[in-house]
Amino acid sequence: MQKALFLMIAGFLSAGGLVGSAQGADLLTVYRDAVAYDAQFASARAALDAGREKLPQGKTGLMPTIGLSASSTWNEVDTTRRVSGATSTSTKYNNNGWTLSLSQPLFRWQNWVAYSQAELAVAQAEAQFGLARQELIVRAAQAYFDVLLAQDALATAQTQKAAIAEQLESAKRNFEVGTATITDSHEAQARFDLTSAQEIAALNDLTVKQQTLRAVIGKEPEGLKRLKPGVQLIGPQPADIDKWVEMAETQSSAVQIYSALFEIATREIEKQRAGHYPTLDLVATNGRAGAGGGTTGGFDNKTSTIGLQLSIPIFAGGGIVSKDREAVALKEKAAADLENARRTAALNARQAYLGVSSGLAQVKAYEAALTSSQSALDSNKLGYDVGVRINIDVLNAQSQLYDTRQKLAKARLDTLGALLKLKAAAGSLGEDDVAAINALLE
């Protein structure tokens, strides 16, 4: 499957939005800052490190165990004899010794199953980390796009306010010379006041969006680069929703996580049933025991043993059978969770694909509407100058133009966000996809 999210082709010039600084941060920089700073991703990274330790832990059931024990005891024994008169003796001596033991499992089937579960647990941890990385890409990109949209909203409000101020002054002049009524001035003043309120709200929203991005990257976002003027987007490849759904059902990170959990639950049944099987171990010891002092003069014994130890379980109070039934029920739960993950992934893929398709259609419609709105504004201004249009017509045309500009910018960024979500739903979202969007920025 192609890794690029989309292709960029030439289009007509977009009239809306602020132009970011050439030295500003781009999406790829923001993503890499998020990787280094974001607390959720740091948590996921630590969880991955912990999950990888499951494999060496699983190996311990297959490896030999070696132990060393030692002891030293001081003894004082007083003995009284009552034969032909009482006599007493006192003995003092020291017992000491050490034992080195080794046990090597030869046949413990549950340990082999536990090792295979450990491998699956590592795979689950890797998939969980992959999901966290994809979620970070989507969160960082969305926060980036939200700042751009908030900047657009503020710029639109400021530009519209300036244009309405000019129209207000024109209406006042025309009223003073008697070519317009006071109604034109009142209408322009009302629009000016409304736009002033919108500017305040837009400024507040921009501050909130900047702080949201700051929480992800750990620094104040300044000079974010914007989409290149005139860029047009082409939909994802392949252009087949069913193929995206199929990829999501098999490759999404959530499906991989629950697939690993299902396999672990399946092996847990085998592990519990292995409690009925005999076990065979190789055991060996090497030790020394001795005593010094006392009437006997002490002794020193050295002992070495090696052999096989067979254990056959006969009855354990029904605990093994109960755990077997519990494992079967947990496997059924894991199967249901896996099926739910597949259905959810398919639904997410469908929604994201339709979001991309709808977004592309909206972009084309808004591009056409932008051209029409600009023409309508020019015509109304000309009509107002020659007296065939009134002030409210110009104000309405201005409002429509600025609203269309803002909606076009939002549709473009929403489409990019939907493309990222589509890739995430299919389990193939990565840094190269961030770079593909980054290439569309100024």
Q: 75 and 94 in contact (C-beta within 8 Å)? A: yes
Containing domain of residue 137, as a range? Answer: 8-61+109-276+318-438
In a domain, 281, yes or no: no
In a domain, 367, yes or no: yes
Give the whole-angstrom CA distance, residue 412 versus residue 359: 7
In a domain, 126, yes or no: yes
Digit-coded pLDDT (tens) for 280-319: 999 999 999 888 765 556 778 899 999 999 999 988 888 8
Give the whole-angstrom CA distance, residue 7 versus residue 188: 44
Query: Which residues share a beta bridge with 286?
Result: 100, 304
In this structure, the chain runs to a length of 442
Q: Which residues of the chain have pLDDT under 50?
A: 1-22
H or E segment to which residue 365 belongs: helix 319-386
Strands 86-107 and 232-233, by their bridges, are unpaired
pLDDT of residue 5: 37
The DSSP secondary-structure symbol of 18 reads P
Q: State how far the alpha carbon of 316 is from the alpha carbons of 28, 191, 275, 277, 325, in Å.
A: 60, 84, 9, 12, 15
Amino acid letter for position 124: Q
From the list 129, 136, 127, the residue with the least C-alpha distance to 258 is 127
In a domain, 284, yes or no: no
In a domain, 89, yes or no: no
CATH assignment at residue 414: 1.20.1600.10
Cβ count within 10 A of residue 195? 24
From the list 208, 226, 221, the residue with the least C-alpha distance to 152 is 226
Q: State how far the alpha carbon of 190 is from the alpha carbons of 63, 159, 171, 177, in Å.
A: 83, 16, 13, 21
In the chain, the number of structural domains is 1
Q: 245 and 351 in contact (C-beta within 8 Å)? A: no
Percentage above 70 pLDDT, the chain: 91
From the list 225, 214, 227, the residue with the least C-alpha distance to 34 is 214
Burial of 389 by CB count in 10 Å (0-12 exposed, 13-18 middle, 19+ buried)? middle
Give the whole-angstrom CA distance, residue 112 versus residue 97: 36
In a domain, 429, yes or no: yes
In a domain, 302, yes or no: no
pLDDT of residue 297: 63
Query: Which residues share a beta bridge with 86?
Result: 82
Tokens linked to 191: 């629009």
pTM beyond 0.85, yes or no: no
In a domain, 309, yes or no: no
